[in-house]
C-alpha cells in the first residue's frame, strides 16, 4: 500500500502540472486510464482500481479506469488516442508516442524477463530444440517480453522454426498450456509471478 501511495503521489504531481491544476467541483474533469490487459479485467480492476481512486482523490479529477478483453483491442484504442493515460509495454510506448504524442511520465524499474513455459506433467518438451516446427502460444504479436522478445530469440539465436498462435492475453497462454491445447507458451515474469501457485507447479 505504501508503494502505491508513493507512486500515486509522484504521478499526481506530474498530472496536476499538465491537467488538473485549479479544478473546482463545478469544472471537475474526467480522464481515461487504460491498462494493457495482461491479466483478466477483473484482476486489472482489483490491482488498478484503488490506484485510480487514490489519484482521483488527490488530484480533484475523476480518473476512470478502462479495461479491454484483449491486447489488440487495447492497442487499437491507444493508437486512436482515446485514453488520456495508459500503462503499456516499452514497444507500445514508442509506437504510441510516434502515433499520438503520448509522453512517458513514469517507468517501472523492476526487471522483467521472458520465459517459455510448458506443462511439466504432460508435455514432451525437455529442451528448447523440442519446439522445432511446433505451435507456440503468445499473448499478442506486440506483447514485448512474452512475444516480441521471445519470438526473436527463438528465431535468431536458437534457429527454431515455429507457428505462433496468439491467444489475446497472458492468462490465456498459461491456461492453454495447462490444459494441453498448446505445447508451450510465451510468458513474462511480471504476469507469471501473479498466477496461483497451483498453476505454476504444473
Q: Is the pLDDT of residue 25 over 60?
A: no
3-state secondary structure 184-201: EEEEEHHHHCCCCHHHHC
CATH topology of domain 114-200: D-Maltodextrin-Binding Protein; domain 2 (3.40.190)
What average pLDDT does range 168-187 have in this prediction? Answer: 92
- pLDDT above 90 as % of the chain: 53
Instruction: Assess contact for 38 and 172: CB atoms under 8 A.
Output: no
Q: Is the pLDDT of residue 2 over 90?
A: no
Q: Is the pLDDT of residue 1 over 70?
A: no
For the chain, the structural domain boundaries read: 2-100, 114-200
48 against 123, higher pLDDT: 48
The answer to pTM > 0.75 is: no
Cell numbers representing residue 128 in the block: 528448447
User: 39-43, 46-50, 141-145: which range is least confident on average?
Assistant: 39-43
CATH level 2 (architecture), domain 2-100? 3-Layer(aba) Sandwich (3.40)
Span 94-139, pLDDT tens digits: 999 999 999 988 777 777 789 999 987 777 788 899 999 999 999 9
Amino acid at each position: 500500500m505504501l508503494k502505491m501511495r508513493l507512486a500515486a503521489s509522484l504521478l499526481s504531481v506530474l498530472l496536476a502540472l499538465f491537467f488538473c491544476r485549479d479544478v473546482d467541483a463545478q469544472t471537475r474533469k474526467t480522464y481515461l486510464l487504460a491498462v494493457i490487459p495482461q491479466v483478466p479485467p477483473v484482476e486489472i480492476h482489483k490491482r488498478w482500481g484503488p490506484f485510480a481512486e487514490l489519484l482521483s482523490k488527490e488530484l480533484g479529477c475523476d480518473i476512470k479506469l478502462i479495461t479491454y478483453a484483449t491486447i489488440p483491442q487495447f492497442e487499437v484504442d491507444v493508437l486512436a488516442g482515446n485514453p488520456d493515460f495508459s500503462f503499456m509495454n516499452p514497444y507500445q510506448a514508442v509506437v504510441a508516442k510516434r502515433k499520438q504524442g503520448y509522453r512517458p511520465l513514469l517507468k517501472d524499474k523492476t526487471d522483467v524477463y521472458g520465459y517459455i513455459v510448458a506443462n511439466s506433467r504432460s508435455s514432451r518438451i525437455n529442451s528448447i530444440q523440442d519446439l522445432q516446427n511446433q505451435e507456440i502460444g503468445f499473448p499478442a504479436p506486440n506483447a514485448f517480453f512474452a512475444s516480441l522478445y521471445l519470438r526473436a530469440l527463438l528465431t535468431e539465436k536458437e534457429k527454431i522454426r515455429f507457428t505462433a498462435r496468439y491467444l489475446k492475453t497472458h492468462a490465456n497462454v498459461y491456461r492453454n498450456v495447462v490444459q494441453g491445447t498448446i505445447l508451450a507458451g510465451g510468458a513474462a515474469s511480471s504476469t507469471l509471478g501473479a498466477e496461483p501457485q497451483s498453476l505454476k507447479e504444473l
